[in-house]
Amino acid sequence: MQLFCDRCNESVDHPIDIRSDVELAEIARDLGYRSVCSGCYDDLVVEAGETREHQADDRRSEHRVAAHVTLRVTPNGGESHETISEDVSDNGARVRSPTGLAFDVGTVLRIECLDGGPEAVAIVETVWADGEGKHAGLRLVESSESWQELVRELERGGGGTDT
């Protein structure tokens, strides 16, 4: 019986089963690979390492705390609007777009916690809509100790209005 590498389709005498390999199991599942040749195995290990490094830099992979904090957002030179955060992280927040304010990617906002918490300056990094309305991902221009303390407090279960 002739065996072939699932990645390069070359004939292989001793295929390596990657479904049980801790580093490659997710890749195997995502790509539908079961067994590969030794050359492809080595390549996949390198690619998996590069992917982990990229994810470390990816904002979406950073730790977030689900928290409903009432915020006042003020676009540069515009009028203030109240909104609610959906989650916060050391480097930003995801918020619901307030009625009457259309967030645009790249807009600079001043964020103030209405409970007297920290203030920050953020840039609208992404905007999207779903069945619940419009949302925006805000990235702090510069993270501060007071913002990080807010995140820690929310993580411990204090502050905010989690619902």
- Give the pLDDT band (50/70/90) at residue 162: very low
Domains of the chain: 16-57 (no CATH), 65-155 (2.40.10.220)
pLDDT at 131 over 80: no
DSSP 78: S
* Burial class of residue 142 in the structure, from the number of CB atoms within 10 Å of its CB (0-12 exposed, 13-18 middle, 19+ buried): exposed
* Residue 4: per-residue pLDDT: 94
Distances (CA, A) of 19 to 2, 15, 25, 36, 42: 20, 12, 5, 10, 15
Provide the whole-model pTM.
Answer: 0.58
Q: What is the pLDDT of residues 24-59, one digit of tens each?
A: 888 888 888 999 999 999 999 988 888 776 654 555
Q: By CB neighbour count within 10 A (0-12 exposed, 13-18 middle, 19+ buried), where does 103 fall?
A: buried
- pLDDT for 61 equals 61
How is residue 7 written in tokens? Answer: 């990645």
